[in-house]
Amino acid sequence: MSAPSAAGNAVPLLALAALGIVFGDIGTSPLYAMKEVFAGNHPIPLTDDNVLGSLSAFFWALIVVVSLKYVAIILRADNRGEGGIMALIALALHDAQDNPRRLQVITVIGILGAAMFYGDGMVTPAISVLSAVEGLEIVAPALHSFVIPLTLLVLFALFFVQKRGTARIGALFAPVMLVWFSTLATLGLLNIVDNPHVLLALNPLYAIEFLAANHAMALVAMGNVVLAVTGAEALYADMGHFGRKPIQLAWYGFVLPALVLNYFGQGALILSEPAAAKNPFYLSAPDWALLPLVGLATVATIIASQAVISGAFSISRQAMQLGFMPRMEVQHTSEKAQGQIYLPAVNWGLFAAVAILVLGFKSSHNLAAAYGIAVTGDMVITSLLATVVVAKVWKWGWARAAALFSAFLAVELVFLAANVLKIPDGGWFPLVAGAGVFVLMTTWKRGRELLRERLQGEDIHLDAFIDALLAGLPTRVPGTAVFMNADPNGVPHALMHNLMHNKVLHERVVLVSVQVFDVPYVPEIDRVEVHKLQGDFYRVIVQYGFKDEPDIPAALALCAPAGLAVEMMDTSFFLGRETLIPRFGSAMSLWRTKLFIAMFRNAGSATAFFRIPSNRVVELGTQIVL
């Protein structure tokens, strides 16, 4: 599905729709970001200079990191309208095919970025929903014991409904977030009017002086300032749904002003009432509005979490297509929108991690320590990959590209250094989770390469094989046999085993090879290439982008104009099922080989992944020593 047109009157409507999907994460940061600076696990002294300095740092982080880097620049680095870390990897790899060293470095950096995304995705629902429900303690301190059970209940309900898809509830997202951002702006404005002195923090000198005068303390504060820019990646990742211009319009015209007003309103409240620092978001509202605000905040954080969960589904499917993850079950939750998918394994794995975080850390204060490091790591990796794209794809050259992104990297590396201090307090969790995902993805990628090399080493060239068959044909039986074939020029093992055991050949043999390109979508007109070979053999090459949904029967139906009409009820699909055996002295260490074999054994079936009718499938096994 290509990105919607952003022309004419569609832009404001798409900008409104983007409020409900794109800005949920960054839009719920006011719940906890300012609170963590002055009342977190490592609070800084509450003085006028520190409040103004921190506010100035908040404001300029939003301007430099989000407005300039992501909204003004990174959104232009689209892969045929699509954004996100996988699209950026594909772009960065585009001109690296002839440079194996750069190819390897970019691949490793990209996988690390994807791993950090998962680490961030685990923390976001936990801290967002928990910080919203904690508002009950402001309404009535006696409700403290209900916070964690209620948070877990809300999160379970959120993950449980994923299998039903987001089409029905998605229509409610934009109006709710419109009310949410309007509420943020209103609360902030009311407090600024009471103490307009806080607007001095718009001057960047306050941030500079704060950082210069308080080195260690300022570094701690910067670790919390980064919480204000969490969710910036979502602006880029969801670009394919709405287009660049609607996201820019929504950010500059509505979201950014609302966030700035709210942060400055919280600062104004803290200057007037220092005791409000314990929870400046909720205490900035009048007493009568507290309970409705808790309800609104909870719904807003559910929406923010939904965006992260949907992003995890999307990036997992892209990673599968690009060969970074094993096949998993993919359920389609909408007949109209192909992007609406549900991956049960990812969904419940993510819920388990989120539940462990809530139970283990118990408060948004503690979770804030676990949050920033994954976000800043992801930002640094995005800047590195974008430097490659700007230098090679945009043809700016390395000097200009490095000069542009070194300014962003300078800010992001300060954020990263500040969050390194949080590792003992909880920052270790997303690092451990990200390292685990990184090991799994690199092991799968390398294992597939080794398996491919092993299979190709035993391959017979297809043309020579057909010539040999024509010299002494086996018995041919009616119907069409389809063999999935990784190497278009080789003979699939399933075909060899079928001849060996059944000693027959179908009257028509179709060898299907699937190729995934580093573009989001391949037009249907380019989906298949059909080559007629001798002896009623056909070579069919099916081409997908990394966001396309593989469907082999649908692809074969497109072969009819080329003279290959496939009748599904008269067709059998032959698939190879390899049993892998580890050995000492493999190109991978033994533990990684065993890990790859375990992943391979538990991967989803090719039948379901390629949407092949299960009652038309014959599987033929073989043993391969890795």
Q: Give which of 197, 180, 203, 179 is closest to 269, Cα–Cα.
A: 197
Tokens representing residue 85 in the block: 């870390």
pLDDT for 317 beyond 90: no
Task: Please give the CATH topology (third level) of the domain spanning 18-446.
Answer: Amino acid/polyamine transporter I (1.20.1740)
Q: Which residues of 62-76 are buried (b: 16+ CB within 10 A; e: fewer)?
A: bebbbbebbbeebbe
pLDDT tens-digit profile of 227-272? 899 888 888 887 777 788 999 999 999 999 999 999 999 999 999 9
In this prediction, residues 15-21 reach a mean pLDDT of: 82
Q: Cβ distance 59 to 219 under 8 Å? A: no
User: Tell me: the pLDDT tens digits for 415-453?
Assistant: 888 888 888 888 888 888 889 999 999 999 999 888 888
Nearest to 412 by CA among 445, 386, 440: 386
- Read off the tokens for 102: 């750069």
Residue 83 phi, psi (nearest 5) = -125, -170
Between CA 199 and CA 182 the distance in angstroms is: 20
pLDDT in tens, 154-185: 999 989 988 876 555 556 788 999 999 999 99
Q: Are the C-beta atoms of 222 and 295 separated by less than 8 Å?
A: no
HEC-encoded secondary structure of 294-362: HHHHHHHHHHHHHHHHHHHHHHHHHHHHCCCCCCCCCEECCCCCCCCEECHHHHHHHHHHHHHHHHHHC
DSSP annotation string for 408-433: HHHHHHHHHHHHHTTGGGTTHHHHHH
Question: Residue 248 half-sphere exposure, CB side, CA atoms within 13 Å?
Answer: 14
Q: Is the dihedral of CA 138, 143, 145, 149 positive or negative?
A: negative
| CB contact at 8 A, 242 and 82 | no
Residue ranges of the domains in the chain? 18-446, 458-625
- Other beta carbons within 10 angstroms of residue 83's beta carbon come to 28
Short-list 550, 606, 546, 548, CA closest to 575: 606
Mean pLDDT of 336-344: 69
Closest by CA position to 289, among listed 364, 179, 193? 179
Buried b (16+ CB within 10 A) or exposed e, 259-268: bbbbbbbbbb
Give the Cα separation of 593 and 587 in Å (integer): 9
pLDDT recorded at residue 152: 95
Residue 7 is predicted with a pLDDT of 47
Confirm whether pTM is higher than 0.75. yes
Decide if 46 contacts 146 (C-beta within 8 A): no
pLDDT tens string 82-121: 788 878 888 888 777 777 888 888 888 888 888 888 888 8
Specify burial of residue 165 (Cβ count, 10 A radius: 0-12, 13-18, 19+).
Answer: middle
CB contact set of 340 (below 8 Å; sequence gap of 6+): 165, 166, 167, 332, 333, 334
**pLDDT, mean over the chain:** 87
pLDDT of 169 reads: 56
Nearest Cα to Cα of residue 201 among 51, 8, 415: 51
